[in-house]
């Protein structure tokens, strides 16, 4: 009998995240959605063509709908200049926070996630602070 193995990166990262006690929300070909104990949902994003390059992404919506686009731009610039390990940008409806890295050894995945999540939350706090500040 032939044993079938799922060699997709999504399956590999899903198993790794489960072994690190994260709960999986959904799995796609290029991302695994997972959440932490606080219930925040993150995406672990990867590419089959560059399997060592991964990103942890966090998005939040609803708090910027009525904010001037130039003010958003300036806030994003401020955060990106001051918190180097997190990339921040706005898509159509939300602020997106991303930590990216080349991961050559999967045993470092836990450290990468555990460093990325607090860094993205600091970036969120800074973004909100700048958006709410009076110039």
Write the pLDDT tens digit of every residue in 50-74.
888 999 999 988 776 778 888 889 9
CATH class belonging to 9-132: alpha beta
Lowest model confidence (mean pLDDT) among 9-18, 65-74, 103-112: 65-74
pLDDT band at 7 (very low <50, low <70, confident <90, very high): low
Nearest to 42 by CA among 86, 84, 82: 86
Helices (H) and strands (E) in the chain, counts: 3, 6
Pairing of strands 50-61, 87-90: unpaired
Confidence of residue 21 (pLDDT cuts 50, 70, 90): very high
Residue 13 and residue 28: Cα distance in Å, rounded? 11
Secondary structure (DSSP) of 30-41? TEEEEE-TT--E
């Amino acid at each position: 009998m032939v044993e079938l193995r799922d060699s997709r990166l999504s399956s590999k990262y899903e198993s790794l995240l489960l072994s690190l006690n994260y709960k999986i929300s959904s799995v796609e070909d290029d991302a695994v959605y997972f959440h932490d104990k606080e219930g925040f949902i993150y995406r672990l994003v990867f590419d089959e063509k560059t399997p060592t390059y991964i990103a942890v992404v966090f998005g939040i919506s609803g708090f910027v709908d009525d904010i001037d686009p130039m003010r958003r731009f300036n806030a994003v610039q401020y955060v990106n200049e001051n918190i180097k390990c997190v990339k921040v940008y706005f898509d159509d409806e939300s602020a997106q926070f991303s930590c990216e890295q080349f991961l050559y050894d999967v045993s470092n995945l836990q450290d990468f996630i555990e460093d990325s999540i607090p860094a993205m939350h600091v970036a969120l706090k800074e973004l909100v602070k700048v958006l709410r500040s009076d110039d």
